[in-house]
Chains A and B, each alone.
Chain A
Amino acid sequence: EVQLLESGGGLVQPGGSLRLSCAASGFTFSNYAMTWVRQAPGKGLEWVSGISGSGGNTYYADSVKGRFTVSRDNSKNTLYLQMNSLRAEDAAIYYCARGYSSGSYYLQHWGQGTLVTVSS
């Protein structure tokens, strides 16, 4: 069974940093592209970032480009999102997700999400 478990969320001040993790199990992690999606309270979904299975290709939404960095450690079956220079508008539930097949960014499997709050 595919499982994705996010962690690392919490309260951070504007301008601060946070690193989210997503521990994956139940599949060969290195074979699959991974994605971060966020959802502010009461708002819609926002695609944040994607990374290929090898980690060699990364993609970002314009709203986070230059501030967020996606990475993965295939030896630890873990996906990361390093978030710097956080703003109030970055507050959201952050989901990690996996495609339905190797290399796909159509998101079949999702974690339960981790909440990031940005406030002074």
Chain B
Amino acid sequence: IQLTQSPSSLSASVGDRVTITCRASQGISSYLAWYQQKPGKAPKLLIYAASTLQSGVPSRFSGSGSGTDFTLTISSLQPEDFATYYCQHLYNYVFTFGPGTKVDIK
């Protein structure tokens, strides 16, 4: 199962609503996670099971989708949200990551 993400990068301003899409090459039910990674740091789990917010993650992050199409939405971008975002599927025990979406400052 391959994952694609779009866009590969985007420029946005503080306060903007940002949506990142992850598409699976075949259906994966809701076995999808979203991670945030900042330079030089380990990734951080944001969303699991496609739409469940990990404890401690701000509510401006949300996830949706099932089957093959998924989205991560940041409702109001904050300065600390500039980072790279990855989706990952957990289907069939080969847990591929998507290629990533870099969010930077406009």
User: Which residue numbers of A lie inside 8 Å of B, CB to CB?
Assistant: 35, 37, 44-47, 50, 59-62, 95, 97, 100, 104-108, 110-113
Q: Report 30 cross-chain contacts, Cβ distance below 8 Å, ordered by A residue.
A: A37-B97, A44-B99, A44-B100, A45-B35, A45-B37, A45-B86, A45-B97, A45-B100, A47-B96, A50-B95, A59-B94, A59-B95, A60-B94, A62-B94, A95-B43, A97-B42, A100-B45, A100-B54, A104-B48, A105-B90, A106-B33, A106-B48, A106-B49, A107-B33, A107-B35, A108-B45, A108-B54, A111-B42, A112-B42, A113-B42
B88 within 8 A of A: yes
What 0/1 pattern do residues 49 to 75 of B give for CB contact below 8 A with A? 100001000000000000000000000
Q: List 11 additional A-B contacts (Cβ < 8 Å) besides A59-B95, A108-B54.
A: A37-B97, A45-B43, A45-B100, A46-B97, A47-B94, A47-B97, A95-B42, A100-B45, A100-B48, A104-B48, A107-B35
Could you tell me the distance between the alpha carbons of A106 and B88 in the complex, rounded to whole angstroms? 9
Name A's interface SS: strand
Whether A106 lies near B90 (C-beta < 8 A) is: yes
User: Which residue numbers of B lie inside 8 Å of A, CB to CB?
Assistant: 33, 35, 37, 42-43, 45, 48-49, 54, 84, 86, 88, 90, 93-100
Interchain residue pairs A-B with the least CB separation, the first 10: A110-B42, A106-B48, A45-B97, A59-B93, A47-B95, A44-B100, A108-B45, A106-B33, A105-B90, A44-B99
- Inside 8 A of B45's CB, which chain A residues have their CB? 100, 106-108
CB distance from B49 to the nearest CB of A (A): 7
Could you tell me the distance between the alpha carbons of A105 and B92 in the complex, rounded to whole angstroms? 12
Could you tell me the distance between the alpha carbons of A59 and B89 in the complex, rounded to whole angstroms? 14
Could you tell me the distance between the alpha carbons of A45 and B99 in the complex, rounded to whole angstroms? 7
- Inside 8 A of A110's CB, which chain B residues have their CB? 42-43
The interface centre, meaning the residue of B37, B42, B90, B97 with most chain A CB atoms within 10 A of its CB, is B42
